[in-house]
Structures are given as C-alpha cells and as structure tokens.
Amino acid sequence: MISALAGSIAVVWLASGAIAFWLDTVGHLWGVWLVLGITLVLGVRALAERWLRANVQRPLAEIEAVLSALSLGLQREVARFSAAELDDIARAIERVADRITTIEESVEHLQKVRSQFLANVSHELRTPLFAMGGYLETLLNGALEDPTVARTFLEKAHANLERLSTLLADLIEIARIESGEMRMSFRYFDVAELARSVAHQFEQHAQQQNVRLEVVAPSEQLAYGDRDRIGQVLANLLSNAIKYNVPGGSVTLTVEREDGRVLVSVADTGIGIAPEHQSRVFERFYRTDAARSRSVGGSGLGLAIVKHILEAHNAPFELHSEVGNGTTIRFWLKS
C-alpha cells in the first residue's frame, strides 16, 4: 500500500514538473516546483513511517510478546489495534490463549482424578487382601485346630475373596465402558418383562434382609436400548436399595409410560442420602458411609456403572432422597 502511494506521488510530481517546465516564463517556477516536490516526498515518507510504526510494527511486536509469553506458559492480555487484519490476528491469538488455559485446567483436573482413582483402587484392593491374610495367618498359627473358629475364619476369608472378585469384575466393566470397548446392542425389548426377571433374582436376598420387594409393571412396555446393560442397571439399583434399607422396609421397582418414553424407577424406604452427598454418589468409589458400605459389601462402583450405561443410552436420570425416608432413582428410556 505504501509503495503504491509513493509511486502515485512520484508520477504526479514528474507530470507536474513537465507542466511547470513548459509554463515557466518567469524563470523561478521550476525551482519552486523542485523544492515543493522534495518537501512533499519527505513529508509523505515521515507520515508513512509513523503509520507503519503505529499500525504494523508496534502491533506485531505486541503479538510477538504475547506468543513468547504463551510459549512460557504465561497468560497475557492482547491489546486492541486499529488495523482490522492485525486486530483479527490478535483476537485469534486471544482465543488460542483461552483455549490453552482451558486445556491446562482440564489436564490438571484429570490428573487429580487419576491420582484419586489410583489411591481408591489401591485402598479397595488392599482392604480385603489384608483381611484374608489376617484370617489365614490366624488359622496357620493354631486356630485351624478349633473347628468352630476355623469355619468362622474361613467364611470371613471367603467373603473377602468374593468382595475382591466383585471389585475386579466391576473395575474391568467400567474400564471397558469408558474406553468404548463395550459395544451396545440396541433393539426394542420389553422393559416390564426385564424388570420382573431381574427382581426375581433378588427375591431371596430381599427376604434375608427382611425387605419386601415389589414390581409394578402391569403391561408390556417396549423401549429401545441394550437389554443386558439395562438389566445390569436394574440389578445395581436393586442391590443398593436392598443393602441400604432397614429391617421391615420395602423396595418398589416401577415401569410405566410417561410423555412417550418409558419411565423406570427404583424406590426404597432405606436410610436415605444426605443432600451434601447426593451430587457425588454416582462417582467411582464414593461412599456416604464408608464403614456401613464395607460391612454390607459391594465395590463402590455400582452407581458409577449405572451412570455410564445410562449416558450411553442418552437416558436422563435423577435421584431424590431424604435422610431417614429412603431414596428414589428414576431414568427414562426411548420407546
């Protein structure tokens, strides 16, 4: 742009010089033209250099400084410039800087989650292993000679072995879900029939816990999804509802149609969940009462698996709970 302007001025100057030379009758017009021309060229050059410094060199230096700061992991605000093209570049760099900051925060959060997950896994694996080791060591040190004590300790060791097996199975399951290795097989199936089938598997467990188990699914309810995975969701929800119930309590599994979708709910009359814990119960290994959770068994991954499976189905879900008045978990499937 500056070169074109200088060229135009030079052409105009030479043309006017020719006219002045042709019209020169007093002898001094040519000299005046030469002085004015040189003054004009010097003035244009000074203005052009000033414009370049203000609108190109300074913005480029500012952009270079911002990029240098970004390369060092520093955040620096980018000024606004009058030249539209340079200002667009500056805003683009600003967006890149914001994106880098967001990515860094996400990476930091993932690192914290990873560290916490590894710590939880180590703890959950160590607890049953240490318990089994203690029982077996006691048996080897002489308790094996007492049949009553030996049987009791062997039963406790076996219970911890089952807990460890459940934990490892759930860890493999949630790893497959999160990595995408688990393939969902979507098709239409009868949720009411599935609910009755899963509930039947828990009838004996509910009786042992003195909990009444009821299924409310009066008619066929077709939904679109992976039947086996939704069955796993129901199994995890029923298991928790029975384990964290009270003697003489009840669990109700309901399947019904609502607004063109199939609504499934599991409601219990158990101990309930305090408000400060409700937003986190679907996290891996999160327990509202660690001592009680370990006494009733479970891996601490059941609700996390439920969350992942329902998200894979794009199935919204919600939890309602009140301490001392039980918990209800509901989710909706496409039909």
* H runs (alpha helix) in 141-210: 147-179, 191-201, 203-208
Torsion sign across C-alpha atoms 131, 137, 139, 143: negative
Fold matches, 116-179 and 187-334: no
Yes or no: domain 187-334 corresponds to CATH 3.30.1330.10: no
Q: What is the pLDDT of residue 255?
A: 94
| pTM, entire model | 0.59
Strands 250-258 and 212-216: parallel
Residue where the block lists tokens 């992991």: 73
What are the extents of the domains in the chain?
Answer: 2-76, 116-179, 187-334
Alpha carbon distance 59, 79 (integer Å): 8
Amino acid making up residue 230: I
Q: What is the pLDDT of residue 171?
A: 77
User: How many CB atoms are closer than 10 A to CB 85?
Assistant: 11
Q: What is the pLDDT of residue 216?
A: 93
User: How many CB atoms are closer than 10 A to CB 210?
Assistant: 11
Secondary structure (DSSP) of 97-114: HHHHHHHHHHHHHHHHHH
User: Tokens standing for 99?
Assistant: 């994106």
Alpha carbon distance 215, 225 (integer Å): 21
Q: What is the pLDDT of residue 291?
A: 46
**What is the full per-residue pLDDT of the chain (335 aa) written as tens digits?**
555 555 555 555 555 555 555 555 544 555 655 666 667 666 666 676 676 666 666 666 666 666 666 555 555 555 555 555 556 666 666 677 677 777 777 777 667 766 666 666 676 677 778 788 888 888 888 877 888 888 888 888 888 887 777 777 777 777 777 777 777 889 999 999 999 999 999 999 899 999 999 999 888 899 999 999 999 999 999 998 998 899 999 999 999 998 889 999 999 998 888 888 888 888 777 766 554 455 555 567 888 889 989 998 999 999 999 888 899 999 999 98
What CATH number should be reported for the domain whose range is 116-179?
A: 1.10.287.130
Residue where the block lists tokens 């999804």: 225
